[in-house]
Amino acid sequence: MSKGTQSMNLLKKLISACLLNTAVLFPAYAADKDIDIFRSDFVSGKLSWSEVEKRAREEGTVNWFHWGGSEQLNSWIERVVVPKMADKGITLKTTRIAGTRDAVDLVLTELAAGRELGHGSVDAIWLNGDNFYTLSKQEALFGSFADKVPNSKYFEFDQDNPRAQLNLSDFGTPTQAREMPWSGEQYICYLDSKRLSRANAPKDFVELEIWLEKNPGRFTYVKPPHYIGNTFVQTALYSFNPSGQGYKEFQRPITSFTADEFTKLVQPGFEYLKRIEPHLLGGDTPFYPQNQSVNQSLYNNGEVDFACEFGLYLVHNNIKTGTFSETTETLAFPSSGMIKNKNFLAIPKNAPHPAAALVFTNVMSSLELQISKLKDIGYPLGADIWKLSGAEALAAKAAEPALHGVTADELGRLAVSDTNASLVKVIEKIWVDYIEKKSSLPFGEIVAKQIVSN
């Protein structure tokens, strides 16, 4: 061993000694035996639901971490969910976080500090996509529960039914019932019928290009890496998929592609985005809003004629709160496929009140709350409409807010799956390199670089 490596090792040792390991400061929390038994009994179906509810009452509290940026949602939770949980003898404590990431961080930090089963501080998280992928990769989830709570009857979990896809796969990560589908969303566009008539609005990406040439500067999209921007780019890539299969290839993980294959798949779409760039808002110095909030103000100020983001009932909700003009309508764009996904409630492995968390997810997926959420704040059903009885389905239909200019059938027909989470990362980086940074490399090399660096 050379002197260099010796001193290096010494340095390493010194640093490890200096950095107080939390395990030294705090006694390692032994995994709670009792909770371990409860978990395996529940997952294997040995426990009756009334036993779970009884235990939940003893636990008494559930800590839910959710994105707290919507006043409507926050009020609805306090007004509707908190009393419902109180009926079950459980106090619902909510932590409003600016990004779901904070809750995931907390769980992983606690686990890393040895706070195992029963010793965490998070009972349930509202999440999807990346955040679920992270928890799943770190094995930080409670287990398969979603298909075992009583209200799972409203959800399709049948592996053989193709319609179950939205419940079984979250951005390409198999959910394995480790999260409860709670709400859904679809990517839509909205226009002001006073400024742009529905008949003149583009219906797909080809028409958009022609429309933009006639109306330069009247449209833009949110920039990746924001997820709203990523989704727009994905939709364009689907539309120009050379195989004509649309979203299909985009369900595969990145590891199943060679750089060449992936280049062939996405090049036409990216070239299209490059081509329309000079006709977007700002022209020679194109302006891509950072997020949907800025995009909405561009739309409200009349700088663009239509804009796109997630939100099946966005138009309804925003007219209601005064954000959008009364003449705003939903636009089904593009006809090549509008991305739809669900969002979920997950229970972390070290949840301190696992039974209460189970009861919570069951309450949240009850038809009563599903319908109340749909009606009061315009958050789409997480439940699958075909799993409801005739009367239930009618009640759900009756609760649907107005779609403003499109029909549910039309939107349902155009719905396509979201892109695999591992592809999304590569796609956003290609966009930043190719469009934002205007990289001078040939397209194939940009793709190869991003695939390798991933």
Counting contacts by CB under 8 A, is residue 68 touching another protein? yes
148 binds another protein (CB under 8 A): no
Q: What is the smallest separation between the CB atom of 393 and another protein, expressed in angstroms?
A: 24
CB of 347 to another protein, least distance (A): 19
Q: Name the minimum Å distance from CB 115 to another protein.
A: 8
What does the per-residue mask of binding to another protein show for 429-448, with x meaning CB under 8 A? ---x---xx-----------
Min separation Cβ 409 and another protein, Å: 29
HSE on the CB side for 94, CA within 13 Å?
A: 19
Residue 184 pairs in a beta bridge with 342
Sign of the dihedral through C-alpha 306, 308, 312, 318: negative
Q: Can you read off the two tokens belonging to residue 405?
A: 């200019």
Q: Which stretch binds another protein (CB under 8 A): 72-80, 179-187, 260-268, 346-354?
A: 72-80
Is omega for the bond preceding 334 within 30 degrees of 0, making it cis? yes
Q: Should residue 22 be labelled a site residue for another protein when binding is judged by CB under 8 A?
A: yes
226 binds another protein (CB under 8 A): yes
Question: Site map for another protein, 252-281, x if CB under 8 A?
Answer: -----------------------------x
| Nearest Cα residue to 233 out of 434, 438, 408, 99 | 434
73 vs 66: CA distance, rounded Å = 10
By CB atoms closer than 10 A (0-12, 13-18, 19+), residue 102 is middle
What angle is formed at CA 265 by the lines to CA 225 and CA 263, rounded to 5 degrees? 75
Least distance (Å) between residue 130 CB and another protein:
4
Question: Judged by CB, which is closer to another protein: 84, or 425?
Answer: 425
In angstroms, what is the minimal distance from the CB of 438 to another protein? 11
Residue 132's alpha-carbon distances to 128, 169, 421, in angstroms, are 5, 11, 10
Comparing CA positions, the residue from 411, 377, 413 lying closest to residue 70 is: 377
What kind and span of H or E run contains 188? Answer: strand 179-192
Which of 186, 239, 295, 365 is the binder for another protein (CB under 8 A)?
A: 295
Q: Partners of 128 in the beta sheet?
A: none
Q: How many residues of this chain bind another protein (CB under 8 A)?
A: 68
Q: Shortest gap between Cβ of 261 and another protein (angstroms)?
A: 23
Binding site for another protein (CB under 8 A): 8, 11-12, 15, 19-20, 22, 25-26, 68-69, 71-72, 74-76, 78-79, 95-99, 101-103, 105-106, 108-109, 112-113, 130-131, 133-134, 217, 223, 225-226, 281, 287-298, 300-303, 320-323, 325, 376-377, 425, 432, 436-437
